[in-house]
Amino acid sequence: MVQRCNHIISIIYSTAYRTAASPVPTVTRAIKHAHRRMAAAAAASSRGLLCAGVLLLALAVAAHGYHQLSSTFYDGSCPDAHDVVRRVIKDARVSDPRIPASLIRLHFHDCFVNGCDGSLLLDEDLPAIQTEKDVPANNKSARGFDVVDDIKAALEESCPGIVSCADILALAAEISVELVRTTYLDFVQAYLDPFQTSATNEFMVLRAGWRSTMGGSARPPRRHDDEHRERQEPTEPVRPLNVLQEKFRNFNLDDTDLVALQGAHTFGKVQCQFTQANCAAGQADDTLENLDDVTPKVFDNKYYGNLLHGRAKLPSDQVMLSDPAAAATTAPVVHRFAGNQKDFFRNFAASMVKMGNIGPLTGNDGEIRKICRRINSKGY
């Protein structure tokens, strides 16, 4: 079924890309062809229904002009990129099971401060460079930087100067979800262009994660790394609902995106000082607790069941149900996701694509760092 979904989506985008000069009739033909395939897939099994639903998102993207996409850029420029990232994460996970959740968090907080540009990775020991790494919400909490360093080193050995640190975060987040997926995650896939519509790009959501592959000719329009960012506060563990909603809306993310992306708290750990109950007597502030006590190592929808029973660990999670304004905004989405895991997976995938679209640096902006902790002109 996965192969069938992949094949149909490939038809839509490869056909549209080949005839970019006249995309409308081409996309129309692709849609008609894909509809026939979707009907057959849906009739074959219940999993086909999920495949069909996800394909509708791909069709919508194609119909709205995102037609210059390529799924083969890394085939020539860095064919082993995905495998390299996966290998490093799997090796790191042996000694540190928290790594998948930590890498997803890095991608989220990188995107939510001035866009997905890898600025979160910059060290603060260089003059005129201020980053998000040591702000209160990240200090002693954001982690996984050594794994990102290992991924970058491995990629530089395999294909020097090709994969940006910002894209490493996206790839690492996708693979991290894959590594803790449940069965359903094998059937969630969608496409969107997170860079610019005038270039050959692709952002593929795979197994409820997200793989970014960049294409182009003279100057590949990949997501570049930033060379300088002023310190800004990322989203903190404790924020009221209206503040969270405003933060998300500033990035064109709606209430469904908010609830879906908070669903990444379905696994991983948090310091007890940030939880609703806070630390027990005698516990240090940095004592770790599971974000989801029901299935702490699995990416599923049990997190939303915790919210329904008032058992969210973070106050900013529980407010999506308990805040007076939640009844007309986020609470219905929480109930939906709690009762329908497939619905959560579909929306999580779509929301991750939208998040990956936040302020990427392309064209002549930014650079491809050789070391993710340093801009190339200072420290390499």
- Among 241, 249, 231, smallest CA distance to 113 is for 231
Cα-based distances in Å from 56 to 52, 280, 287, 358: 6, 48, 44, 23
Contact indicator for 232, 132 with CB cutoff of 8 Å: yes
| E strand or H helix that includes residue 203 | strand 201-206
Cα-based distances in Å from 149 to 117, 145, 156, 345: 16, 6, 10, 29
Angle at 86 between CA 80 and CA 92, to 5 degrees: 135
**Token duo for residue 218:** 């003279």
217 is in an annotated binding site: no
113 is in an annotated binding site: yes
157 is in an annotated binding site: no
Angle at 210 between CA 204 and CA 216, to 5 degrees: 45
Q: Which candidate in 7, 109, 224, 228 is catalytic?
A: 109
183 is in an annotated binding site: no
SS (HEC) of 34-53: HHHHHHHHHHHCHHHHHHHH
Phi, psi of 213 (to 5 degrees): -125, 130
CA distance 200 to 193: 9
Parallel/antiparallel/unpaired status of strands 189-192 and 269-271 = unpaired
265 is in an annotated binding site: yes
Contact indicator for 108, 115 with CB cutoff of 8 Å: no
117 is in an annotated binding site: yes
Four-residue CA torsion sign, 345, 349, 351, 355: positive
**Token duo for residue 377:** 């002109």
Active site residue 109: yes
Contact indicator for 312, 319 with CB cutoff of 8 Å: no
CA distance 38 to 77: 33
132 is in an annotated binding site: yes
Instruction: Name beta bridge partners: 374.
Output: 371
Provide DSSP, 217-242. Answer: SSS--PPBBPS---------SS--HH
144 is in an annotated binding site: no
- Alpha-carbon dihedral 152, 157, 159, 160, rounded to 10 degrees: 80
193 is in an annotated binding site: no
Catalytic residues: 109
Question: Which segments are annotated as binding site for Ca(2+)?
Answer: 110, 113, 115, 117, 119, 132, 266, 292, 295, 300
Question: Which segments are annotated as binding site for heme b?
Answer: 265
